[in-house]
Amino acid sequence: MSIPFLASVVLVYLAIVAFLTVKAYRGTNSAADYMLAGREIHPFVMAMSYGATFVSTSAIIGFGGAAAVFGMSVLWLTFLTLIIGIFIAFVFFGRRTRLMGLNLNAHTFPEFLGRRFDSRGLQGGVALLIFLAMPLYASVVLMGGAKFIAQVLVINYDVALFFLTLIVAVYVIMGGLKAVMYTDAFQGTIMFSGLLILLVATYVKLGGVVNAHERLTSMKEIAVKIFGAKGHTGWTAFPAMGSEYWLVVVTTIILGVGIGVLAQPQLIVRFMTVKSNRELNRAVLIGGIFILVAVGVPFIVGPLSNVYFFSENPETAGKIALLAAGKDVGQIIPLYISSAMPQWFTALFMVTLLSAAMSTMSSQFHAMGTSLGRDIYEQALGRKGNPVLLTRIGILFAIILSYFLAWGLPNFFEGGTAIIARGTAIFFGICAAAFLPMYFGAIYFKGMTKLAAFAGFFCGTAVSFFWLFFIHIKESKPLLLCKTLFGVDSLAEGSLWASVDPLVIALPASIVATILFNLWGKPPAAEHVEMCFEEVR
């Protein structure tokens, strides 16, 4: 690869990011500016920021690599994110969240819930879970970006990780949510373009749309021979119903992420950044088109990479994508890009991956920083201080924690960077179980009680962590707690329950707890409820 060309592309990209950061910094004069971008964001910026935050290197590198293993069945997640993550989220959740957030003068998702249920304790609990759980998600996004940079530039992973973290830290700490959303919109545009080019280039490389899919379908026997015992039926077919692979695809990938998107704190806060519902309506189409490409392309290219590695690349002839990448799922997409695409595109795609990583990480760091600085220190603990300064300190702590996790996780989990996709699904599932029932109740049911909110929150959180530590073998095995206490890798070892994602158990449990405890809780004050629901009809 031409280093001068690559350096020029990256420098231009960083110069634009720097310009947008300075612009945001100069326009940030209050806590509302720093935490909610002044509540006057343009619908295009809002939609692109929402999409770019949702689609990270986890989706492109992690889930793209997972798709190379499981096949095109994961495309159902694209459908689910369009229906749930965009249409339902914007129309049925976004409008009410924006209005209620304005009525409550809430600046963060934990503050939104805390003020809705008139509980600083709930606000602190939600913020604490975000600050403790989100670093895993942020770290796997960091890993995905750093892995690709290291692969393309042929440099040490630790070096790539350090400089990627440093760049994101500078503009998030400086400009707050305005900088995050401005740069997200720019980065989202790059992601959209890069992925669209990748899709076209892949089909051209493999002889056209029909020919590429026919060739992949013809490799069915190879897939069954290698993965058949786990339920694989070919890369263009769904895994056998009830098999281990079916459970992973359906419960972890499709449901875990597809439902979990509704309860993502860093996405929900986007609804409170626009000035009217008209902006949200205009953002639906923009966000839908972006998600269709940004989520769908990796799920198509991933499986098709098997055709390339098996029959197009002399160096990997006779090997499927997973074997060509040394059984490292997280290396499949980087290896495919660097070996199948021309050098100029590799440079462009590195910027695409940088954009995906930086857009998501910046939002995660901002969400963690506001949780620690504003929600826990200032609100829950009642300490005084400059809210912007406190948030910046919180962001710094979040960045340091995420950096060290990204540095250590590849060696801790079996399969190395396979944790990229898994870490995303884990966080999405925890958020859905812990937050979704009370969030839905908060915006739709005037009679929902504080006790019900606490019950759903604690039940969803407890069941999620129990299932992660003691049942779901993908996590319980490397975490070692189950092995230490009970002498087995999973309490469900040897059964299909060990492959069932925590979301499938924890979310229903949380819903039941919320409904039951709402029968016993003290009804909220009528005046407070009317104020919360003002203009919400």
The pLDDT tens digits of the residues spanning 470-527 come to 999 988 988 889 999 999 999 999 898 999 999 999 999 999 999 999 998 888 888 8
Tell whether 537 is covered by a domain.
no
pLDDT at 406: 82
Confidence grade of residue 416 (pLDDT, cut at 50, 70, 90): very low
* Stronger pLDDT, 273 or 463, i.e. the higher one: 463
Instruction: Kindly report which listed range (377-386, 514-523, 526-535) carries the lowest average pLDDT score.
Output: 377-386
* H/E segment holding residue 188: helix 157-205
pLDDT at 511: 98
Q: How many CB atoms lie within 10 A of CB 275?
A: 14
Confidence grade of residue 384 (pLDDT, cut at 50, 70, 90): confident
* Stronger pLDDT, 100 or 412, i.e. the higher one: 100
Q: CA-to-CA distance for 339 and 334, rounded, in angstroms?
A: 9
Rg (CA), the chain: 22
The pLDDT tens digits of the residues spanning 333-351 come to: 889 998 998 877 877 777 8
Tell whether 334 is covered by a domain.
yes
The pLDDT tens digits of the residues spanning 45-85 come to: 898 888 888 887 767 887 899 999 999 999 999 999 999 99
pLDDT at 143: 80
pLDDT at 156: 84
CATH number at residue 117: 1.20.1730.10
* Stronger pLDDT, 107 or 466, i.e. the higher one: 466
Q: Is the distance from CB of 390 to CB of 377 less than 8 angstroms?
A: yes
pLDDT at 512: 98
pLDDT at 306: 97
pLDDT at 465: 96
What's the whole-number mean pLDDT along residues 307-329?
93
The pLDDT tens digits of the residues spanning 183-192 come to: 888 888 998 9
Q: CA-to-CA distance for 77 and 83, rounded, in angstroms?
A: 10
Please say if the pLDDT value at position 28 is more than 80: no
The pLDDT tens digits of the residues spanning 225-234 come to: 999 999 999 9
Tell whether 21 is covered by a domain.
yes
Confidence grade of residue 175 (pLDDT, cut at 50, 70, 90): low
Tell whether 167 is covered by a domain.
yes
Q: Give Cβ neighbours of residue 252 (< 8 Å, ≥ 6 apart).
A: 422, 425, 429, 501, 503
pLDDT at 500: 93
What percent of the chain stands above pLDDT 90?
A: 50
E strands of 207-361, at which residues?
none
Looking up tokens 């912007």 gives 388
* Stronger pLDDT, 93 or 426, i.e. the higher one: 93
Report the chain's mean pLDDT, rounded to a whole number. 88
Distances (CA, A) of 44 to 4, 103, 321: 33, 24, 37
Q: At what angle do helices 332-340 and 343-370 cross, to 10 degrees?
A: 150
**Encoded amino acid at 357, one letter:** A
Q: CA-to-CA distance for 163 and 402, rounded, in angstroms?
A: 14
Q: How many CB atoms lie within 10 A of CB 306?
A: 27
Q: Is the distance from CB of 380 to CB of 123 less than 8 angstroms?
A: yes
| Residue range(s) defining the domain that contains residue 332 | 3-418
Please say if the pLDDT value at position 198 is more than 90: yes
Please say if the pLDDT value at position 417 is more than 50: no
Q: Is the distance from CB of 453 to CB of 113 less than 8 angstroms?
A: yes
pLDDT at 433: 97
DSSP state of 253: I
Please say if the pLDDT value at position 535 is more than 90: no
pLDDT at 415: 44
Task: Tell if the pTM clears 0.85, that is, is over it.
Answer: yes
Please say if the pLDDT value at position 357 is more than 80: no
Greatest CA span in the chain, whole angstroms?
A: 72
Q: How many structural domains is the chain composed of?
A: 1
pLDDT at 420: 62
What's the whole-number mean pLDDT along residues 442-452?
95
Q: CA-to-CA distance for 361 and 349, rounded, in angstroms?
A: 18
Tell whether 434 is covered by a domain.
no
Q: CA-to-CA distance for 240 and 242, rounded, in angstroms?
A: 6
The pLDDT tens digits of the residues spanning 125-138 come to: 999 999 988 888 88
> Would you put residue 274 in left (φ > 0), alpha (ψ -120 to 50) or beta?
beta
> Would you put residue 270 in left (φ > 0), alpha (ψ -120 to 50) or beta?
alpha
Q: At what angle do helices 419-444 and 95-104 cross, to 10 degrees?
A: 70
Tell whether 190 is covered by a domain.
yes
Tell whether 276 is covered by a domain.
yes
The three-point CA angle 381-267-146 to 5° equals: 95
What's the whole-number mean pLDDT along residues 100-122?
94
pLDDT at 446: 93
Tell whether 325 is covered by a domain.
yes
DSSP state of 525: P
The two structure tokens encoding residue 340 = 């199948």
Q: Give Cβ neighbours of residue 132 (< 8 Å, ≥ 6 apart).
A: none
Residues in the chain: 537
Confidence grade of residue 1 (pLDDT, cut at 50, 70, 90): low
